[in-house]
Structure 1
């Protein structure tokens, strides 16, 4: 599958998806979001993919936001349709069975910060910048930012970032829990790939079900959440991975998982 604004590489069960509009700082126009949705569809149906990495092309920007030039002439119906399009794609990313890591190599503003928050966790280059500047343009965040950002960093920090529209650097993003790790820019992809390989080496079914349980539990009460956890925990005992993982432990050897 070939795209105009999206590139991807699959290597040993790890797919790296790159938003590639460097001249526009990888801003998200409708065409790019449509392509990202098609790429997500390919990942959804490929059981050989164990981990997803999302990053931006070039060295300046992860995703600098939605394409303001494209938005500037939209009417209310078009604006709502654009927001729903992006929300749908980002929700599909959030709900991919595979873990998704955001490798934030530069500006993650507006839609870029919202895309990062739809990922499972985030590593940032020391040059990265974050923010939800939409109120300075007379609009609210529209790609899920009012919902996901406060869930990631807490209500207070989320509201402060959205109400002020201020930009923060990578170290501040780390301090408030928006990113898990900050590394020199030239080491970012190496560090992300190192973590992706660790995840890919584990029991694929167990990792995917753990993600499903976490996502389900965050959006419900704890009793409902742990009830779902009991179901997926039990389901694991029907897999070859469970038998291999526990047998390898007993035999004091490294497990070789097949994702079955």
Structure 2
């Protein structure tokens, strides 16, 4: 067993455990629901690039620590950024998400808590998603002045219809585990007495029993038919935040008040 620990914040780290043909990536920042800083997104991307270099690895599991997945990006960090820095942070997120999406190995997201914002999109970039009753999914960007890049929207719309995707953004509502399962965002819905780690490892072993050539072939076929995966990672990610609404949105989040957006144009 090989375990790599990348401590990229004083209160956050990402670990990679490689054993028995599995690469298990765990996001650790539990007191912030595993919300990730830009440094954590960068390190996650570097880990994603390293994983396929191990010839023994057959499958990848992405999970969060302490009964979470990830609440997305650290909005308090966004509050300290300029608009240009925020746009660069989104480009970094997309590069990382795309790394896992294009990985030439099966990927499973284990969701036992919130998968929100960019964390939601990261889960959708995985091939399969396993959820517990505590899973919550959504992309509440409207309160923050975030203008979703096309690749984010296409990932959501590839799994649910256009109307439901628009509803998620327009209302900012979060889907509970049952709704997520019914919409197909979660492939396997666990009962309260099932251990998600045990279940995901069992599922991984079942997948590892299949032909690697068959699995790679179907993943390539999906990629060829999916305009998201075949696009360069930075396509459509030129501006991801509104220069007026975004500063007000993140300031309101930090100050725990409703944002005061003004209609323009």
The two structures have a TM-score, normalised by structure 2, of 0.78
CA distance in 2, matches of 1:197, 1:40: 20
CA distance in 2, matches of 1:146, 1:23: 29
CA distance in 1, matches of 2:150, 2:28: 19
Matched, 1:23 2:42: no
1:84-112: per-residue Cα shift (whole Å, max 9, x none)? 00101101100000011110010111111
| Counterpart among 225, 228, 231 of residue 217 in structure 1 | 225
The total of aligned residue pairs comes to 220
Secondary structure of the residue aligned to 2:159 is: helix
| Counterpart among 35, 57, 62 of residue 54 in structure 1 | 62
Pick the structure with more helix per residue. 1
| Counterpart among 47, 52, 55 of residue 44 in structure 1 | 52
Matched, 1:163 2:170: yes
Matched, 1:116 2:123: yes
Q: Give the equivalent residue in structure 1 for 2:74.
A: 67
Cα separation, partners in 2 of 1:44 and 1:36, compared to 1, 3 Å: same
| Counterpart among 34, 40, 43 of residue 35 in structure 1 | 43
Matched, 1:2 2:5: yes
| Counterpart among 91, 95, 105 of residue 112 in structure 2 | 105
Answer yes or no: is the 8 Å Cα contact 2:5–2:16 preserved in 1. no
CA distance in 2, matches of 1:172, 1:63: 19
Q: Give the equivalent residue in structure 1 for 2:245.
A: none
- Runs of 4+ displaced beyond 4 Å: none
Secondary structure of the residue aligned to 1:126 is: coil
The two structures have a TM-score, normalised by structure 1, of 0.80
Q: Give unmatched runs, 5+ long, in structure 1.
A: 221-260
1:63 is displaced (CA, Å) by 0.3
Secondary structure of the residue aligned to 1:202 is: coil
Answer yes or no: is the 8 Å Cα contact 1:15–1:49 preserved in 2. yes
Q: Give the equivalent residue in structure 1 for 2:190.
A: 183
CA distance in 2, matches of 1:216, 1:17: 27
Q: Give unmatched runs, 5+ long, in structure 2.
A: 8-12, 229-265
Q: What's the RMSD between the two structures over aligned residues?
A: 1.8
Cα separation, partners in 2 of 1:143 and 1:70, compared to 1, 3 Å: farther
Tell which has more relative contact order, 1 or 2 (C-alpha 8 A, sep 6+): 2
CA distance in 2, matches of 1:163, 1:67: 22
Larger radius of gyration: 1
Q: Give the equivalent residue in structure 1 for 2:158.
A: 151
